[in-house]
Amino acid sequence: MKDLGWDDEWARTFGPFAAEGLIPARVAIEFNYLYRLFAETGEVQAQHAGKLRHESAHLSAVGDWVAIRPSPGEATATIEAILPRRSHFSRKVAGELTEEQTVAANIDTVFIIMGLDGDYNPRRLERYLMLAYESGAKPVVILNKADVATQLAEDIDEIQQLAVGIPVHAVSAKERSGIEVIERYLGPGRTGALLGSSGVGKSTLVNALMGEELLKTREVREHDSRGRHTTRHRHLIVLTGGRGLLVDTPGMRELQLWAHEDSARETFDDIVELAATCHFTNCRHLGEPRCAVKQAVEEGTVTAERLASYQKLRDELDTLEQRKSVRDQINIKRKFKSASQAMKKMYKDRDRE
Ligand code: GDP
Ligand code: ZN
């Protein structure tokens, strides 16, 4: 259990569930609402109890610690509760209205992977850093494909300046050089996850850490450099010899921006600080008079690209906010409707008496 990440704090949280005869387990794979769990006794197949099924927010994700009730005489169980998450990654579910869905939980360290080849893109890294801040996991930046880097020192420098206070390491997953640095952040019972766009070398890295070709590395097509599609289920990988755990799931791979203003503030500290001194309190820094941000761009203390990426992010957040508020309004309407129906019935019943 310790190798799975179980500790005294989890045990304390679990106390009341243990009293009900439930046992703890950690979610390893999710597929079509069927879960494969790691428990003390081994692997168990499970489904959610009916009361948890109605809201996507109440569904468990890979990495979750859950309280299960084993079915007598069978290797199956029911998930009765999810222990409060220490960290989680969520994504917005596509559709008319946005819904938050957890794709991975209880990650200690998130490795943000970027390639030092054509993939190199500091603006994208900023987005991933924001997701990491949002999640509650500790971020570490891994610059992969160091073997083909053309200006390694400059790139590391640039990333280090943008990710202040965050460790940055250059590795080559392909040549298996420098990858032991990842294990330094893991160890017995500690869980890591890899974040980064397709083709940066996540599978290669996981394979190298596992020391065997368990995951099928996707070949990058020569012409469009898009990875060939392979289907794999969500996975919690236990590294041998108490080296820790790794989450590598399609959900993590497809993570989209689901961030709040707070995390925008952390990554764009300088711009937010400047914005506070703009003449207009609602300044959008698009050419308004006496705009401190525009002035900083002119003076060269803030680059135009950085301002543009801040504005793009802000627009995305605004859209997200609007969608959320539409959802809230619908919920309010629904509640109001059922409340007024209940009221009508009450009056009717009273009049009848
Ligand atoms: P994923 O989509 O992030 O899982 O990326 P993959 O692990 O499938 O790797 C994508 C491509 O990059 C493959 O062709 C790998 O062989 C290649 N690759 C991965 N790591 C390295 C590396 O360190 N150096 C070089 N030159 N290529 C790498
Ligand atoms: Zn301004």
Asked if residue 189 and residue 57 are part of one domain, the reply reads: no
Q: What pLDDT score was predicted for residue 344?
A: 60
Torsion of CA 172, 178, 180, 185, to 10 degrees: -90
Q: What pLDDT score was predicted for residue 210?
A: 84
Q: Say yes or no: CB of residue 227 within 6 Å of ligand 1.
A: yes
Q: What pLDDT score was predicted for residue 51?
A: 78
pLDDT digits (tens, 9 = 90+) for 209-226: 887 545 444 333 333 334
Asked if residue 42 and residue 147 are part of one domain, the reply reads: no
Asked if residue 183 and residue 234 are part of one domain, the reply reads: yes
Q: Say yes or no: CB of residue 201 within 6 Å of ligand 1.
A: yes
Asked if residue 197 and residue 181 are part of one domain, the reply reads: yes
Could you tell which of 204, 209, 255 is best to mutate to test the pocket of ligand 1, judged by most ligand atoms within 8 Å of the CB?
A: 204
Tell me if 152 is assigned to some domain.
yes
Asked if residue 95 and residue 65 are part of one domain, the reply reads: no
Where does a domain end: 82, 97, 113? 82
Tell me if 262 is assigned to some domain.
no
Asked if residue 228 and residue 299 are part of one domain, the reply reads: no
For the CA of 200, the closest atom of ligand 1 is: 3
Q: What pLDDT score was predicted for residue 99?
A: 67
Q: What pLDDT score was predicted for residue 266?
A: 52
Q: What pLDDT score was predicted for residue 229?
A: 36
What does the alpha-carbon distance between residue 110 and residue 88 come to, in Å, rounded to a whole number?
11
Q: What pLDDT score was predicted for residue 118?
A: 76
Asked if residue 150 and residue 45 are part of one domain, the reply reads: no
Give the CATH number for residue 276. Answer: 1.10.40.50
Residues with a beta carbon under 5 angstroms from ion ligand 2: 278, 283, 285, 291, 293
Asked if residue 167 and residue 279 are part of one domain, the reply reads: no
Locus of tokens 């041998």: 240
Give me the residues of the chain with pLDDT under 50, please: 213, 215-234, 256-262
pLDDT digits (tens, 9 = 90+) for 148-198: 999 999 999 999 888 888 999 999 999 999 999 999 999 999 999 998 877
Where does a domain end: 189, 214, 248? 248
Q: What is the domain range of residue 340? A: 268-353
Tell me if 240 is assigned to some domain.
yes
Give the CATH number for residue 181. Answer: 3.40.50.300
Q: Tell me how crowded residue 278 is: count the other CB atoms within 10 A of its CB.
A: 19
Q: Name the domain count of the chain.
A: 3
Asked if residue 291 and residue 239 are part of one domain, the reply reads: no
Asked if residue 325 and residue 225 are part of one domain, the reply reads: no
Note whether 167 and 153 are within 8 A (CB): no
Asked if residue 238 and residue 100 are part of one domain, the reply reads: yes
The β-bridge relationship of strands 244-247 and 76-82 is unpaired
